[in-house]
Structure 1
Amino acid sequence: MDPASGLCEGCLRTIDEIASWGSLSDASRLAVLEAINARRKPPTTSKQAPAADVRLLCDASSHPDWPNQLRFIQRDWLSCNSVLIFDDQQGATLFDSGYIKHA
């Protein structure tokens, strides 16, 4: 849960919305889904990652064996790593290693 917003960082629901989901009517579930859509941030149109995410990218220049188009993303809170490959013609491709939750 994000302490500032009170929303789940994955599904963007409040703790009350998550707890009551199983007992909600279809109309109430639809209202929650509409609220989630309103909470979503629009995608960035820039080719550059948002400033908060730039610190997560490991620059290829710091690893001489890596091509310049390659970025490594390490997420400490999961046993997960991703590799982002930039391509000027097709955009970017993300390879995610998956994750294992820590106990």
Structure 2
Amino acid sequence: MTGTPVPTPPTGRGTKAARPRPRWRPLAGLVLGVLAAPLLIVLPEAGLPLAYVALRLLASRFAWASRADDALRRLSGKVHAWFVALPRAGKLLLSATALLAAGAAVWRTADSLA
């Protein structure tokens, strides 16, 4: 059988025909972003990861969210590289300071609730 070959549909990253984007992602990102806003003030340990997930979901649809997500990834990569380059004593001192600050915040919150 000779003839022209049947073209295969494009696949891979960057092709819209490969896989349609779910329509629920922008809505989920908006809901998570609204939930993350007050948590960033009251409980940043829970608000920051939630805001990051909301930004990732919004980045699947909106260019501004994609640019913000790229900038956040670059910044977190720089912070990670800086932390890895610290000597062991610096890492221990920074970690102990962060733990003491978190403990003081919990202590203050528990004291104000009592």
The two structures have a TM-score, normalised by structure 1, of 0.30
Structure of higher CA gyration radius: 2
The higher-RCO structure (CA 8 Å, 6+ apart) is 2
Structure with the larger helix share:
2
Structure 1 or 2: larger strand share? 1
